[in-house]
Chains A and B, each alone.
Chain A
């Protein structure tokens, strides 16, 4: 019988070794790229070379000292960190660019005035009208879709049996895949041309912020329904049965036990839908038309939104347009982010400490 050695101790690299190898890899890579002029040079190339050199160097040294299993472990760990960094990079880059370019017009003028009478070659101009438009359009769309979406999800999870529920689920899935411009076209044909003339002052077709809300609703509804459905399915059956066993009616069980338990997840789903809707441009442009002045009435007349404003300003070939677009973009991101934070705090406050 050949017994394996019973020692539990193994040779380990000292704690500073990975850092030393990293430093060496960076030094060699930058020297090769900048001093040696390898492959035309460039900081990005040097970074990639440094990471590759580090992985190879760590692998070789660790195999020699610690054996192949420990070396594979180290390489896998390093690879995972590298991939995480790679995945975070676009996000950090976007936020950094936004902050860098978006702060130039963070002034009272921008938030206090509309863009009425401002041409591409005027220095001032604001996005007040666009902020109002975004808040109204997304706000109305949220008011329409949250109750509908939650009720649809409750039906699918708690009441739906047989073919009707399956059909509804299927069509919700189909709706999720609708391109946003198709939603815009639908509202254009339905609201802008057919319904709007019925109540507009002059009886003619026209754009309105509410039409944009409808288009956004078409896009938000399936997202909210699906995420809410998933969250309701996560609520354990034992809670429902515990409630039924107390003689509590089914609808009351859903309203007072099931929905509160699923609330944090539902809020996350709603905020994802809101964030997506706030950034939609094409359908909003198609049915709200865009506008340079303030229009607080979402039902009558053209309205702008931050996304339209960004689209229009970024396309201007002047030194004043693009900075306005960047600041509007920063405003939009900050708006969605703060809404998300507030919603999460509210959802958490309803939970017990």
Chain B
């Protein structure tokens, strides 16, 4: 598990609007890469390009080259569902399926992709919930609705649901922005454990969070409204936060801009 993602000259559009331009970066396996930057700079757009969720929106398209361990994600022969199974995604707001129980939520990805065997599903459910640090809290109410959990628990349920299909890469789009500090702490601990097995890319507005959880940090920015977002600097997290190479990065992380 865990694969390397390489982006070369990635440009993404919403209809006529160019949201990101010419992003080139390599994301290392078994590490956490944080994407930071002001609102509207294209962090989420880039993230959604990686597992082809960007094209779900009408008129949205991606140019350039994105590969996972050398395989072109945007090749014509590629099956989109296979890409998304290998590159899972956790969203900003927890979105458990409201008609499903906790158990059904966790195994949804497996079951709806054809796995029927009860014992395999049970094992996968327990393993995913344990990996998501949620097992002890929900093991006695697996048949209760997933929407009945607290916000932090719901988000960990969504992480469990994502890792249950055993992806290579996990994308997280501001996974803690709707959560309180204690739930955030739980998710950050979880991210720290997950990076042993997965490649993790996390978009965050919280620079302390980026500094705490990530190994590498990419700073995105836009020169002015309406311009596409660009990758300004990408380096080891400690370097970005202590000795950034670009003045704009320094301005942003010290709070002088953005």
Interface residues of A (CB under 8 A from B): 161, 236, 238-249, 252-253, 256-257, 260-261, 263, 350-353
Cα of A248 to Cα of B112 in the assembled complex, Å:
6
The total of chain B residues at the interface (CB under 8 A) is: 32
Interface residues of B (CB under 8 A from A): 51, 53, 56, 58, 81-86, 88-89, 91, 93, 95-101, 108-109, 112-113, 143-145, 158, 161-162, 165
Report chain A residues within 8 Å CB of B109.
Answer: 246-248
Report chain B residues within 8 Å CB of A350.
Answer: 99
Q: Contact at A238–B112, with CB atoms within 8 Å?
A: no
Q: Contact at B97–A247, with CB atoms within 8 Å?
A: no
Report chain A residues within 8 Å CB of B158.
Answer: 242
Given the interface contacts A161-B58, A246-B165, A248-B108, does A236 sit within 8 Å of B95 by beta carbon? Answer: yes
Cα of A129 to Cα of B98 in the assembled complex, Å:
44
Contact partner of A352 (CB less than 8 A), chosen from B58, B144, B161, is B144
Cα of A256 to Cα of B101 in the assembled complex, Å:
13
Most chain A C-beta atoms within 10 Å of own C-beta, residue among B82, B98, B143: B98
Given the interface contacts A239-B95, A247-B165, does A252 sit within 8 Å of B89 by beta carbon? Answer: no
Q: Contact at A238–B99, with CB atoms within 8 Å?
A: no
A–B complex contacts, Cβ < 8 Å, 14 sampled: A238-B93, A240-B56, A242-B95, A243-B112, A244-B53, A245-B51, A245-B89, A246-B85, A246-B88, A248-B112, A256-B108, A257-B97, A351-B99, A352-B99
Cα of A351 to Cα of B98 in the assembled complex, Å:
9
Given the interface contacts A242-B97, A242-B158, A351-B99, does A256 sit within 8 Å of B112 by beta carbon? Answer: yes
Q: Which residue of A lies closest to B90 (CB)?
A: A245
Contact partner of B99 (CB less than 8 A), chosen from A242, A244, A261, is A261
Report chain B residues within 8 Å CB of A252.
Answer: 112
The 4 closest A-B pairs by CB, nearest first: A247-B85, A246-B109, A245-B89, A247-B84
Cα of A261 to Cα of B147 in the assembled complex, Å:
12
Determine how close the nearest CB of chain B comes to the CB of A160; give it in whole angstroms.
11
Cα of A206 to Cα of B95 in the assembled complex, Å:
56
Report chain B residues within 8 Å CB of A353.
Answer: 145
Cα of A248 to Cα of B110 in the assembled complex, Å:
9
New A-B contacts (15) at CB < 8 Å, excluding given A239-B98, A247-B109: A239-B95, A241-B56, A242-B91, A245-B51, A245-B53, A245-B84, A246-B84, A246-B109, A246-B161, A253-B112, A257-B97, A257-B99, A261-B98, A261-B99, A350-B99
Q: Contact at B101–A246, with CB atoms within 8 Å?
A: no
Q: Contact at A248–B58, with CB atoms within 8 Å?
A: no
Q: Contact at A238–B95, with CB atoms within 8 Å?
A: yes
Cα of A239 to Cα of B96 in the assembled complex, Å:
7
Report chain A residues within 8 Å CB of B91.
Answer: 238, 241-242, 245
Q: Contact at B53–A243, with CB atoms within 8 Å?
A: no
Q: Contact at B162–A246, with CB atoms within 8 Å?
A: yes
Report chain A residues within 8 Å CB of B101.
Answer: 352
Report chain B residues within 8 Å CB of A238.
Answer: 91, 93, 95
Q: Which residue of B lies closest to A351 (CB)?
A: B99
Cα of A353 to Cα of B82 in the assembled complex, Å:
34
Report chain B residues within 8 Å CB of A246.
Answer: 84-85, 88, 108-109, 112-113, 161-162, 165
Most chain A C-beta atoms within 10 Å of own C-beta, residue among B97, B99, B113, B158: B99
Q: Contact at B95–A247, with CB atoms within 8 Å?
A: no
Q: Contact at B97–A245, with CB atoms within 8 Å?
A: no
Q: Contact at B88–A245, with CB atoms within 8 Å?
A: yes
Cα of A240 to Cα of B85 in the assembled complex, Å:
15
Q: Contact at B112–A352, with CB atoms within 8 Å?
A: no
Q: Which residue of A lies closest to B52 (CB)?
A: A244
Q: Contact at A248–B53, with CB atoms within 8 Å?
A: no
Q: Contact at B97–A243, with CB atoms within 8 Å?
A: yes
Report chain B residues within 8 Å CB of A351.
Answer: 99
Report chain A residues within 8 Å CB of B88.
Answer: 245-246
Report chain B residues within 8 Å CB of A239.
Answer: 95, 97-98
Q: Which residue of B lies closest to A245 (CB)?
A: B89
Report chain A residues within 8 Å CB of B82.
Answer: 247
Determine how close the nearest CB of chain A comes to the CB of B255; give it in whole angstroms.
31
Q: Which residue of B lies closest to A259 (CB)?
A: B99
Cα of A336 to Cα of B176 in the assembled complex, Å:
49
Given the interface contacts A261-B97, A352-B145, does A244 sit within 8 Å of B58 by beta carbon? Answer: no
Determine how close the nearest CB of chain B comes to the CB of A266; give it in whole angstroms.
13
Determine how close the nearest CB of chain A comes to the CB of B234; give it in whole angstroms.
25
Cα of A245 to Cα of B109 in the assembled complex, Å:
9
Report chain B residues within 8 Å CB of A257.
Answer: 97, 99, 108
Q: Contact at A247–B113, with CB atoms within 8 Å?
A: yes
Most chain A C-beta atoms within 10 Å of own C-beta, residue among B53, B108, B145: B108
Report chain A residues within 8 Å CB of B58.
Answer: 161
Determine how close the nearest CB of chain B comes to the CB of A305; give it in whole angstroms.
36
